[in-house]
Structure 1
Amino acid sequence: MPATSTPSAKRIAAASTKAAKADRNQLTPKDWIRAATELLIHRSIDAVRVDVLAKILEVTRGSFYWHFADRDDLLKQVLLDWQEQQTEQIIARYRKQGVQSAELIKELVALPFHGRAAMKGASVELAIRAWARRDEMARRVVDAVDAKRLAYLEECFSNLGFVLPDAKARAFLLYCYMQSESLFRNQGSTDEKTQRREFVARTLLD
């Protein structure tokens, strides 16, 4: 016999629909991306799963699918969010400010030391680069980010009058230095870090 819809079944269905709508309305894609990024930092890419995120966010698994097609869609959005925040927005902000290239180089040399924001950015970056060593999608985004950042640094050095080969070499040295300070953040006292930073700036601008 075909199943009939009882009042009790209707109430359960209505409650489920209401709960799903509440989950959808309370959370945004950004909330899921932020939670996924935190899991990536503190555990690994393997830990970034829909069921784990739903438990952390205290919502149903079904609410996830209001915002993302599947887990791969979420992971792609995590990468694009990192690319936008840590590359596109930063470059756009510097362009808008119109800072002179020499001062900009000095500011970029100091960027790894910008307190908690720098530490958080470095943690995200390290986690994504670890992910990129084993995943093609992540590797493509990391390669694109590196290329965009290097091109911008080359532009800064070119604006200072360095010929293209020298601009490229100095851009690469600056980028490697910035990445290294993030990796070795506990090496040296505050004074030593300041001296190191000033030495790098002088060397690059000489």
Structure 2
Amino acid sequence: MPPRTEVAPSSRPRPRAADEARTTLTPHHWIAEATAVLVDSGIDTVRVDVLAKRLGVTRGSFYWHFKDRDDLLSHVLGAWRNAATEQLIERFEHRTSDPHALLKELISLPFRGRSAQQAARIELAIRGWARRDATARQAVDDVDARRISYIAQCFSALGFDIAEARHRGFLLYAYEVAESMLSNQGTAAQKTQRSALMEQLLLTRLPA
């Protein structure tokens, strides 16, 4: 058997740039960048070549993680649903089981500083996309239904019957969406007053 020859470090093959990209970039990087481009420039600008240039990699590294652009866009919608709905509901349920406290938390969501502003920007961009694309429209419809259903459960836990709980859940959700989209309307004091009034109205039982 011939003696084994050690290769000097300087003469060993260096990994190609594409290989380095595959090991350093994850699907999350592509999804986050696609979401940022969607927010800043709209869905038509979310293209593989644009994202690759922004991330400083070749187009080939994209296909290491996704089949095509539609596959990426599907993951963008899934990531939004998970972060803006499922993870949020899970945090609420771990924080408190008191339905009244949960409703106060929900009412305060649009006023939570930069995180609320960024969430509103992403949501507005996705809703704009949904006006033109059936897949995005279905994702938005599913998210809306999931959120309304969760809020309705809170009202149901407070003793409202199923139908009324769902109506109140819809009203609270519509209020949250409106406050998120109209964030520049009113002073901080006025927003506090609006949220207090909304809480009072939604918890007031109507005469039989």
Q: Which residue of 2 aligns with 1:205?
A: 203
1:6-50 CA distances to partner (integer Å, 9 max, x unpaired)? xxxxxxxx87x7211101111110000000000000100000000
Q: Which residue of 1 aligns with 2:170?
A: 172
Q: Which residue of 1 aligns with 2:127?
A: 129
- Aligned residue-pair number: 192
Gapped runs of 5+ residues in structure 1? 1-13
Q: Which structure shows the higher helix fraction? A: 1
Could you list the structure 1 runs, at least 4 aligned residues long, displaced by more than 4 angstroms after superposition: none
Alignment of 1:123-202 (within 5 A): 123-202=121-200
Verify the 8 A CA contact 2:96 2:102 in the aligned structure 1.
no
Normalising by structure 2, we get a TM-score of 0.90
Cα distance in structure 2, aligned partners of 1:108 and 1:85: 15
1:84-133 CA distances to partner (integer Å, 9 max, x unpaired)? 00011111111222331111111111100000000000000000001011
Q: Which residue of 2 aligns with 1:90?
A: 88
Q: CA deviation at 1:190?
A: 0.9
SS in 2 for 1:158: helix
Cα distance in structure 2, aligned partners of 1:147 and 1:63: 36
Amino acid at match of 1:86: A
Q: CA deviation at 1:165?
A: 1.7
SS in 1 for 2:16: helix
Cα distance in structure 1, aligned partners of 2:94 and 2:113: 23
Amino acid at match of 1:64: F
Pairing 1:66–2:64 present: yes
Amino acid at match of 1:186: N
Q: Cα RMSD (Å) of the superposition? A: 1.1
Q: Percent identity?
A: 52
Cα distance in structure 1, aligned partners of 2:81 and 2:182: 23
Amino acid at match of 1:187: Q
Cα distance in structure 2, aligned partners of 1:172 and 1:19: 51
1:144-166 CA distances to partner (integer Å, 9 max, x unpaired)? 10111011011000000001121
Normalising by structure 1, we get a TM-score of 0.91
Amino acid at match of 2:161: V
SS in 2 for 1:188: coil
Cα distance in structure 2, aligned partners of 1:144 and 1:128: 13
Alignment of 1:10-21 (within 5 A): 18-21=16-19
Q: Which residue of 2 aligns with 1:114?
A: 112
Gapped runs of 5+ residues in structure 2? 1-12
